[in-house]
Amino acid sequence: MWQQLLKEIQQGNIKALARTISLVENEFENYFELLQQLPASSTKIIGITGPPGAGKSTLTDALIGEMIAQQKKVGVLCVDPSSPFNLGALLGDRIRMSEWYNHPDVFIRSLATRGSLGGLHPKILEITDLMKASTFDFIIIETVGVGQSEVEIAGLADATVVVVVPEAGDEVQTMKAGLMEIADIFVVNKSDRPDADIFVKNLRTILTPAHKNGIPVIKTIASQKEGVKELFEKIIAHLKISSTPERKYLLMAERAFHLIEQYRMKDISKETLQKEIETKHYTNLYQFIQQYFK
């Protein structure tokens, strides 16, 4: 079954890809065998992240349009907040990107965070690698926007785009949120708003001392498709620079660490830990967790 599905995915069969993602997402029996058969891929991953309300989905929508205009095939993973009732994705992003829903060169999949604190899906690495086995030129991952813990995207994407808005507040506080460390490109979206130029100037001033080569700061008005072409050009330029063996192995190490951590923690849940603590009346946390070090 797995070999046939993988063959269809490599041929660009979207239905086979969607079905396989569901099987992996739900940990179907022996799904790891499929993952071990995945071929090497040069498909680049673009991460779109930033605080809620910055216009990430609108920007992603515009970026898809730019890619399609340049005859590229693109896969999109929209990591939505989970429903508190069934842990499913709320599908807000897919609604905003409805223009591309039936486009033959665009595949959009909404995923729920399922309680993950990093703004990503627990199986994001596996699903991304599945998509890389298909015929896409680029894969865009748009994260939820949950603040400091969103640095997870930096260990997954070949290019990380951080989206902010002019009224984001104190620029220094924005930097403290960890965004400066993970950003390859900054986008100041909704740049038609008051004080946008001042915000951009201050942002560039802050970034220059920390990065000798400077991080590009692009002004966009995503709702009007303004600045999106320049953004795509900067992304392509960064991908060319960052495609080094050192960067490749660094990303692989980050992903390997994430996967090993995930599989070693597979049988441990907060609910199980709570019940055990209650049952045995532990009062010393370190005495309790010692059993998991063996």
Q: Could you tell me if 90 and 25 lie in one domain?
A: no
Instruction: Give the integer Cα–Cα distance in Å for 28 and 77.
Output: 20
pTM: 0.84
Q: Could you tell me if 21 and 67 lie in one domain?
A: no
pLDDT tens digits, residue range 218-249? 999 999 999 999 999 999 999 988 767 777 78
Higher pLDDT, 266 or 151: 266
DSSP assignment of 43-64, as one string?
A: -EEEEEE-STTS-HHHHHHHHH
pLDDT of residue 89: 42
| Tokens coding 155 | 């260990």
Total domain count, the chain: 2
Last residue of a domain, one of 241, 268, 289: 241
Cβ contact 156:124 at 8 Å? yes
Q: Could you tell me if 106 and 173 lie in one domain?
A: yes
Higher pLDDT, 115 or 51: 51
Average pLDDT, rounded, for the chain: 82
Phi, psi dihedral angles at 72 (to 5 degrees): -105, 155
Domain range for 11 is 1-36
Closest CA relative to residue 215, chosen from 227, 206, 207, 223: 207
Cβ contact 101:18 at 8 Å? no
- pLDDT exceeds cutoff 50 at 107: yes
The conformation of residue 70, written as its DSSP 8-state character, comes to: T
Non-local CB neighbours of 107 within 8 Å, separated by 6+ positions: 14, 17, 18, 74, 75, 76, 131, 134, 136
- pLDDT exceeds cutoff 80 at 84: no
Q: Could you tell me if 27 and 104 lie in one domain?
A: no
Q: Could you tell me if 30 and 74 lie in one domain?
A: no
Write down how long the chain is.
294
- pLDDT exceeds cutoff 60 at 16: yes
Q: Tell me whether residue 71 is in a domain.
A: yes
Q: Tell me whether residue 279 is in a domain.
A: no
Conformation bin of residue 225: beta by default, left when phi > 0, alpha when psi is -120 to 50 = left
- Chain position carrying tokens 């179907």: 28
